[in-house]
A = this chain, B = another copy of it.
Amino acid sequence: MKAFCYGVDIGGTFIKVGLFNDQGDLQSKWQFKTRKTKDDLKIIKDVADFIIQKNKELDITMEDVLGIGVGIPGAVLDNGEVLQMHNLGTGYFNLVEELHKLTGCMVKAANDANLAALGEFSSRKAKGYKSMVLVTLGTGVGGGIIINGSILTGGKGAAGEIGHILVNSDEREVCGCGKKGCLEQYASATGIVRMASRRLQESSEASILRTIKELTAKDVLDSAKAGDALAMEVVTKASEYLGIGLSHVAQTVNPEVFVIGGGVSKAGPILTDMVEEFFKQYVMDDVKDTIFELAVLGNDAGIYGGANLILNAK
């Protein structure tokens, strides 16, 4: 009886693996270091070996495994073709085919941000949503879009790249993507620190932030909560740009719910309430009652998404 599936989240530093039952409940999870190599196939081999070993330890045969759902930090087409692997191998290979060869299992693959979105979506089954957008405010700003319960991949696997939506035509500094004025330059942890540092340099306004040596986004958010005016100004600006960026997303796909995750979202209501307020200013009436929720799965969203990629394909 096929009663299990694996969710795998391949990151630049760690590979996370979760074993799930056929109801999508997590049974066990592990992680191991991502091998430093330019050869993507070696990474895929590591994943296969790890799963084969775990099966052995847990007395599970490959026949008991419905499939393996894998997330990677890059663009993946619906057929499993990987177009690139950021910060990892050389890109371009068919992950689905390769991992299937090594395991004999059904394999499904997706971009890691999209997979995390599917994970968060699946955890909300009871709410009956059909569409959702996950926004991850971490080092960068990631996004994943779920439509009718499935990941929206896009023509080149680039759907949901909302961190690189233009939100400020006047920006002078260049984003990691080569453009200027991307959402990621303001609403990511890096963006918040960047804005705060710039603000501190450009003014002589008093601020707790001036006493902090290596400023982090958490410092800025905590200081804003503590009533620091300059920090509050930065957080308000980040929230406004995020509200604008999400207004563009909502006018385009009109999701039922936005789920906000990532390290920056841990600041809680101070940020999300403001984002929602700004959002309402920039969307049509029909779209104003889009729901905002905080992410619930943290770093496990990817492995949950992987499992659900398999369970949805049953």
Contact = CB atoms under 8 A, between A and B. Distances in A.
A75 interface: yes
A132 to B, nearest CB: 9
Interface string A254-294: 11110000000000000000000000011111110110000
Nearest to A175: B284
Given A158-B287, A178-B285, A284-B158, A251 B152 contact: no
> In which size bucket is the chain A interface?
35 or more
Given A131-B154, A158-B254, 8 more contacts: A153-B254, A154-B254, A155-B257, A158-B284, A161-B254, A161-B284, A248-B251, A248-B252
Interface stretch (A48-56, A162-170, A193-201): A162-170
Contacts of A83: 286
A-B pairs with the 4 shortest C-beta distances?
A154-B254, A155-B256, A248-B248, A158-B286
Contacts of A287: 156, 158, 161
A2 interface: no
A308 to B, nearest CB: 18
Nearest to A150: B148
Contacts of A153: 254
Interface string A111-149: 000000000000000000011000000000000010100
A214 to B, nearest CB: 30
A29 interface: no
A247 interface: yes
**A interface: dominant SS:** loop
A256 B284 CA distance: 26
A121 to B, nearest CB: 13
A206 interface: no
B282 A145 contact: no
B251 A165 contact: yes
A244 to B, nearest CB: 6
Contacts of A166: 244, 247-248, 282
12 contacts: A147-B147, A152-B253, A158-B284, A158-B286, A158-B287, A159-B252, A161-B254, A161-B286, A166-B244, A177-B285, A179-B281, A179-B283
Contact of A253 (B154, B283, B290): B154
Interface in A178-208: 178-179
A76 to B, nearest CB: 12
A229 interface: no
A249 interface: yes
Contacts of A254: 153-161
A191 to B, nearest CB: 16
Contacts of A282: 166, 179
A252 B130 CA distance: 17
Contacts of A158: 251, 254, 284, 286-287
Nearest to A281: B179
A285 B157 CA distance: 12
